Structure 1
Amino acid sequence: MSAAADTSAEPPLVRFEDIDKTYDGEHLVVRSLNLDISRGEFLTLLGPSGSGKTTSLMMLAGFETPTDGEIYLNGKPIRNMPPHRRNIGMVFQNYALFPHMTVAENLAFPLQVRRIGRAETAERVARAMAMVKLEALAQRHPGQLSGGQQQRVALARALVFNPQLVLMDEPLGALDKRLREHMQMEIKRLHQDTGITVVYVTHDQSEALTMSDRIAVFNDGVIQQIAAPDTLYERPVNSFVANFIGENNTLSGQVEHREGRHGTVRLAGGELVEALLISPRANGATALSIRPERVRLLAPDADPGTDNRLSGRLRDIVYLGDHALALLDLPGTTDFMVRLQAGEQAGLTRGQDVTIAFAAEHCRALDPV
């Protein structure tokens, strides 16, 4: 599947062209990868373990070599270029700081390797420390810093030599939830302030949605879909993307009638549902994708209007603070989710019969699962 960005007058900073990667000569961990990355973009490679996202990042960094195909940086082929000549910054999950060096010395190291003069090095180090708000910790060693502070140093070190591209491999994986969310905002701020191009690898879909300009969703070595976060969430092109990005309801059925992009699907219990027919494979068996917030619980005598209407039983209510999830037993599924706003769960009891409604435009017929 081609995943090239929309072409424009300005050529992409990075281009993956027909990239294959195998370690054993048989199984391709990356298959036919075509991907353009624009200058100044924050692109996230998202997917489960073993999907090919980290291998793709390592090939761009120069730590892995493609089996076939070519990678271009600024229009120049770099497949055989060593990592240190690519002018790329790297941030890893384990920070990779030198424990015997102070914060200032860690930041100065990549400048010294590039033979930058002492005065300019001092100026760049001071600027980088100010960027991540660590000026007061310049003389501390990594072992004297918290995890969040170490991650800030790692970020500053990746930016201090003004790279054209920064690669981040699960950089927040070792942090607790609150600090992780704070660092997401910090990284996004740094990206906006510097205009640097960032390629970010994570398996955390909420992190990808929060930070990215575009997200490339990987599975089995192939990009399943690449788009802006809201497009991926609202308009997934297949069942893998629908189920990997955010919470999703899946109902299996058979397409009975098609008229353009709209169709009628018969569910396992015999109910008929109107849906958008997204997948070209949605001609017989299909999986319907419906987001929990697109479903509403109907009062007993309410008119659903033109919406689809299904009956089921309330199995449980999960309280999540600012909202709750109603879990329903419907024909063919026992975990159908309806998102309730605060207070909407009042009066609901486990085991009661309920009716739900959702619009055809929010029901997407995708490939069967």
Structure 2
Amino acid sequence: MGGNPDQFVRFLNVQKSYDGETLVVKNFNVDIAAGEFLTMLGPSGSGKTTCLMMLAGFEAATHGDIILDGQSINNVAPHKRDIGMVFQNYALFPHMTVAENLAFPLKVRKMSKSEIDRKVKRALEMVQLGHFGSRRPAQLSGGQQQRVAVARALVFEPKLVLMDEPLGALDKNLREEMQYEIKHIHEDLGVTMVYVTHDQSEALTMSDRIAVFEDGIVQQLATPDQLYEKPENAFVAGFIGENNRLHGQLKSVEGDTCSVALEGSDGIVKALKVNVDGVGGRTTLSIRPERVVLDPDSDQYPNRCQARVEELIYLGDHIRARMTVSGNSNFITKVPNTQRHTPLKRGEVVNIGWATEDCRALDA
């Protein structure tokens, strides 16, 4: 490697506009380490796929620089970037066998037949398709085709592998199976991977770090547990996992905590001060459903209020209870399915609570 391994891929002040006026990517800056699995996560139109396409060379940056292994690649053709690519629609050649599909990028690189045969055999075994080399793509299931697409991206041992919504066409069970398979391949090979998805659970399952996109801007770049436990703004809190929101007005600040008067009630809530304006400003409180407890102990849970049970859904290991809290009728709690808990009843009013450290005061 020619560059700093902690800065194997670099986006430096990268912008992209298709019409010369509207920026779909705004001042994108990120360093990706060699061997890292970084996911670009966000809703449709947030700029994540555009960033991947600029890295692949299929789109040109309007402004800024993209560095790969210490070298600027802004003016390097896609086929000369030594990057493997996996698309959502697999993009396999239908007239070629599986082995011929995998051999294609090796032939382009003018490798010997013996070397091609060895690399194709190894790649097929890596994705557990060792006996499928003679089949055509049409003779394979969706999951098998996706495995072939992954193998083709890895067969020439590229510096970097890019994946654009690669599991989007698969059913839920197969999708989850492939998530672990790609994660294990990444761990075994140590190759650098940049992955694009709009699926939060997929990103949390597979990634070393996740860049959460919205409106062309990275809202937060962090590890999966940091994104879930410590979201920096209301968008990230709502986009990553299930999240309860309560709106209120900032009444006072005491070091790292603050007091918030809830809208729709006379309650005061203590929260971690994360991303708020001054006293008197509006804020959004973020509380994860699993952090809410029934019949809370007053010493351990200073934030307590009444909630009306609107709906109960049995989910095996827990009961998902939708409640009305402070005017919010979509406040979710997850009640563990144990004998210690009294069964809830629809329409009853119960006491709930949560710890100060589990409640984050974010932007309004």
Same fold (TM over 0.5): yes
In 1, Cα distance between equivalents of 2:85 and 2:276 = 40
SS of residue in 2 equivalent to 1:58: helix
| Residue of structure 1 in register with 2:266 after alignment | 270
The amino acid across from 2:124 in the alignment is M
Displacement of 1:332 in angstroms is: 2.5
In the alignment, which of 93, 101, 107 is matched to residue 98 of structure 1? Answer: 93
1:296 equivalenced with 2:308 (yes/no): no
1:219 equivalenced with 2:242 (yes/no): no
Q: Contact conserved, 2:15 with 2:61, CA < 8 A, in 1?
A: yes
What's the CA shift string for 1:183-225, capped at 9, x where partnerless?
A: 0000001000000000000000000000000000000000000
Change (3 A) 1:76 1:305: closer
What's the CA shift string for 1:117-168, capped at 9, x where partnerless?
A: 1110000000001101101111000000000000000000000000000000
In 2, Cα distance between equivalents of 1:228 and 1:295 = 24
The amino acid across from 1:355 in the alignment is N
In the alignment, which of 302, 307, 321 is matched to residue 302 of structure 2? Answer: 307
Displacement of 1:62 in angstroms is: 0.1
| Residue of structure 1 in register with 2:229 after alignment | 234
| Residue of structure 2 in register with 1:42 after alignment | 37
Displacement of 1:26 in angstroms is: 1.1
Q: Contact conserved, 2:276 with 2:283, CA < 8 A, in 1?
A: no
What's the CA shift string for 1:78-121, capped at 9, x where partnerless?
A: 11111000000000010000000001000000000011111100
Displacement of 1:323 in angstroms is: 1.9
Q: TM-score, normalised by structure 2?
A: 0.96
In 1, Cα distance between equivalents of 2:316 and 2:81 = 47
SS of residue in 2 equivalent to 1:135: coil
In the alignment, which of 287, 294, 297 is matched to residue 284 of structure 2? Answer: 287
Q: Contact conserved, 1:314 with 1:353, CA < 8 A, in 2?
A: yes
SS of residue in 1 equivalent to 2:35: coil
In 2, Cα distance between equivalents of 1:327 and 1:220 = 31
Q: Contact conserved, 2:301 with 2:353, CA < 8 A, in 1?
A: no
Equivalent pairs, count:
359
Displacement of 1:341 in angstroms is: 1.3
| Residue of structure 2 in register with 1:61 after alignment | 56
Q: Contact conserved, 1:282 with 1:366, CA < 8 A, in 2?
A: no
SS of residue in 2 equivalent to 1:30: strand
1:1-369 pair list within 5 angstroms: 10-268=5-263, 269-281=265-277, 283=279, 284-298=281-295, 303=298, 305-343=300-338, 346-368=342-364
The amino acid across from 1:351 in the alignment is G
SS of residue in 1 equivalent to 2:193: strand
Displacement of 1:322 in angstroms is: 2.4
In 1, Cα distance between equivalents of 2:342 and 2:269 = 29
Q: Contact conserved, 2:4 with 2:70, CA < 8 A, in 1?
A: no
In 2, Cα distance between equivalents of 1:347 and 1:307 = 24
SS of residue in 2 equivalent to 1:137: coil
In 2, Cα distance between equivalents of 1:294 and 1:213 = 25
Displacement of 1:9 in angstroms is: 6.6
% identical aligned pairs: 58
Unaligned runs of 5+ in 2: none
| Residue of structure 2 in register with 1:4 after alignment | none
In 2, Cα distance between equivalents of 1:52 and 1:231 = 22
The amino acid across from 2:182 in the alignment is I
In 1, Cα distance between equivalents of 2:218 and 2:258 = 27
Which region of structure 1 is more displaced relative to structure 2, 275-284 or 159-168? Answer: 275-284
Displacement of 1:280 in angstroms is: 4.0
Unaligned runs of 5+ in 1: 1-7
